[in-house]
Chains A and B, each alone.
Chain A
Amino acid sequence: MRAFSYERPASPTAAAASAGARPGAKFIAGGTNLLDLMKLEVETPTHLVDINRLGLDTTEPTAEGGLRIGAMVPNADLAADPRIRQGYAVLARALLSGASGQLRNKATTGGNLLQRTRCVYFYDTAKPCNKRMPGSGCSAMQGYNRMHAVLGTSEQCIATHPSDMAVAMRLLDASVETVASNGIKRVIPMAGFHRLPGNTPHIETELQAGEMITAVTLPPPLPGKHIYRKVRDRASYAFALISVAAIVDVANGRIRSARLAFGGLAHQPWRVTAAEAALAGANAGEAAANAAADVVLSGARGFGHNDFKIPLLRRTLRAVLTET
C-alpha cells in the first residue's frame, strides 16, 4: 500500500473542500472496497478524508412520503430498517443478497454506489486495463470474460457494476444528494448517476473531483410485489452473474404496472422503460416475460465466456414474472 496522510474533517462541507483541494485525495467511508484496492495498488490515494463521524448515519422521512438515507448508513442497518423492509422490500432483499454479514456491517449506502468493478483484469496491475490505466487496452474483451457485460459495452471496456443495492436504487428512482468542494449541493437522479464506459471507462459516475455523497433519497413506496432475484455461482457471498429487481403490481392475473432493473448486465444498473411499458396491461406469464426480455436484450452481445448471460436473463425474468 502506498503511503497517505489521513484526516477526519468536522463537517461534510469541510470534507468536500479538503478532498477538492488535494488532487490525490479520496474519501474513505466503510473502506471495504477501497482498502482492498489500495493493498493491490489499484487505488493509490495520497490523502484519505475519513467521513465516518459526520452524522450522516440516520434515515429520515421526507416531506414527499419517502425516505432520506444518510450516506453513512451501513448496508446491514438499512436492510434491517423496518421502513425499508415494509415499503422498499426490493432494496432490503438486494442489500441482503450482497457480500457477507461482516462487510454489510461496514459498507455504507454512499460507498456501495461507488464500488469498483470486480473485473479480474482491473484488479491485476500487470495486465492492460482501460479503466485502471486509460489507453492501455482491454484484456477482458478477448480474455476470461464470464462475469462481464452484454449490454452497453464499448470497445474500451466490458466491465460490469458489481452492486446489488444500486440495482434496487435504480429501480426505485432514488436520487443521490451531494456536496461539492465549493460547498454547492445538488441532487443527481440514479438514472444519470452511473456512466456507460464509452471512451472513458475510468470515469464511472457524474461526481466531480471532491464531490461527496451525503444521502440517497427514496420516493414514496410503490405498490406491488417486490422481488430481487440474484443468480450467482454459489448460494451466498458471491457477485451476481445476473440479477433482476422487480416491482410488479398484478390484479386478477393482469399486470397493472411493472418496473424492472438488472444487475450483472452492464457498466451501470440497467433499466429499460420500454420493457416495462410492454408489460403493462399484459397477462402475467411466460408470453409477457418473453416480450419484455426481447426488449431488454435488444442489442445484447456476448464475448464468449459470458454468452450464457443472454438466455439466463430471459429465463430469470420469466421466473420472476411467474412468481408474481
Chain B
Amino acid sequence: MTHDDDRPEAPDAWHLTRRAHLHHAAALATGCVGALAAAHQPGPPASPVRVPAAETPPTLMKLQFRVNGKPQTLMVDTRTTLLDALRENLAMKGSKKGCDHGQCGACTVLVEGRRINACLTLAVMHDGQSVITIEGLSAGDQLHPMQAAFLKHDGFQCGYCTPGQICSSVGMLAEARMGMPSHVTADLQAAPGNTAVLSDEEIRERMSGNLCRCSAYPNIVAAIRDVAGARA
C-alpha cells in the first residue's frame, strides 16, 4: 500500500477552518490601514513586527522526495514539517516527536546523508532530496551495526529517544570520518580529513543534541564506541 493519496490533491478539496476564516476576514478589513501605515514609515531598517497584511489561506504543495530509497509523492500543507510528513503522511512512526522544537533530538533523521532535526525543517524544503529514517537503516532483517550495538550494550530504557539516538550516531560517525572537529577537539589544526579520534568525551559532546530522560547515556556511549572502534 502506498500513502501517496492519503491527502486530498485538489485545492478545493480542503476547507478553511472557521478560525482561519475569521482571521482572514479580519485581516482583510485592516489590510488597507496597514498599507497606509507602511507607506508613511520612515524607511530603513526593517521592522520584523507582525504586519497587518491579509493572512494567507492554507496552501497545499506537491512534494516529491525519496524516503529510505523509495520515491514518494505527497500533497502537503506548506506548514508540514519533515517530521510530520514522515509520521502523519507516510505513517512512518519510527522518527519520534519529543519537544518539536529541536531541543531533544528524538526526531533526528539523515537528509542527503546529514543528520538534522526533522521537526525544525519544512517538508517542502526537501523536494527532490533523499531522507533516511530509522526504518531505512537496516537491510531487511539485517540490523545496522549501530542498531545491533544499542541492543548489545542496552543503550536504552523506554526506547523513545532511541531512533533519534541511532540516526544521530550514524550521522555523527560519518562527520568524524570526514575529520570534522567538535567543541572538545583539542587540536583544530590536526590534518583535516583524518578521522577524528572518538574518545568518550568526544562522543558525549558530539551527541549532546540527543537527550535521554532515562539517562541511558553510559550504555549509549558504549554502543557508539563499539561501532566507532570497529570502523577505525
Check if A100 is an interface residue, CB within 8 A of chain B: yes
Q: Which of A30, A46, A236 makes the CB contact (< 8 A) with B183?
A: A236
Quick one: given A39-B100, A96-B181, are A204 and B209 in contact (CB under 8 Å)? no
A80 to B45, Cβ gap below 8 A?
A: no
Check if B114 is an interface residue, CB within 8 A of chain A: yes
Check if B163 is an interface residue, CB within 8 A of chain A: no
A46 to B105, Cβ gap below 8 A?
A: no
Q: How many residues of A contact B (CB 8 A)?
A: 59
B56 to A102, Cβ gap below 8 A?
A: no
Quick one: given A3-B20, A50-B125, A106-B120, are A36 and B46 in contact (CB under 8 Å)? no
Residues of chain A lying within 8 A (CB to CB) of residue B124:
6, 50
Q: How far is the CA of A99 from the CA of B183 in the complex (A)?
A: 11
Q: How far is the CA of A11 from the CA of B175 in the complex (A)?
A: 30
Quick one: given A79-B181, A208-B45, A237-B209, are A102 and B116 in contact (CB under 8 Å)? yes
Q: How far is the CA of A79 from the CA of B179 in the complex (A)?
A: 11
Residues of chain B lying within 8 A (CB to CB) of residue A5:
56, 59, 78
Q: How far is the CA of A236 from the CA of B208 in the complex (A)?
A: 6
* Size bracket, chain B contacts: 35 or more
Q: How far is the CA of A2 from the CA of B52 in the complex (A)?
A: 13
B122 to A203, Cβ gap below 8 A?
A: no
Residues of chain B lying within 8 A (CB to CB) of residue A205:
45
**Looking at the complex, which of A85-93, A241-249, A316-324 is the stretch in contact with chain B?**
A85-93
Interface flags, B4-39, vs A, CB<8A=1, else 0: 000000000000000010010000000000110010
B79 to A206, Cβ gap below 8 A?
A: no
Nearest Cβ distance between residue A294 and chain B, in whole angstroms?
A: 30
Residues of chain A lying within 8 A (CB to CB) of residue B210:
100
B125 to A85, Cβ gap below 8 A?
A: no
Interface flags, B174-216, vs A, CB<8A=1, else 0: 0100111111010011001000000000001111111000000
Nearest Cβ distance between residue B60 and chain A, in whole angstroms?
A: 10
Residues of chain A lying within 8 A (CB to CB) of residue B180:
76, 79-80
Q: Which residue of B lies closest to A200 (CB)?
A: B47
- The 7 A-B pairs of least Cβ separation, nearest first, read A100-B209, A236-B208, A209-B46, A208-B44, A237-B208, A80-B180, A46-B56
Between-chain CB contacts (< 8 Å), 12 pairs: A3-B57, A6-B124, A23-B35, A32-B121, A46-B55, A50-B124, A79-B180, A79-B181, A80-B179, A100-B210, A102-B108, A210-B46
Please name 5 further chain A to chain B contacts, defined as beta carbons within 8 Å, in addition to the given A2-B23, A106-B121, sorted by A numbering.
A5-B78, A76-B114, A97-B183, A102-B168, A132-B49
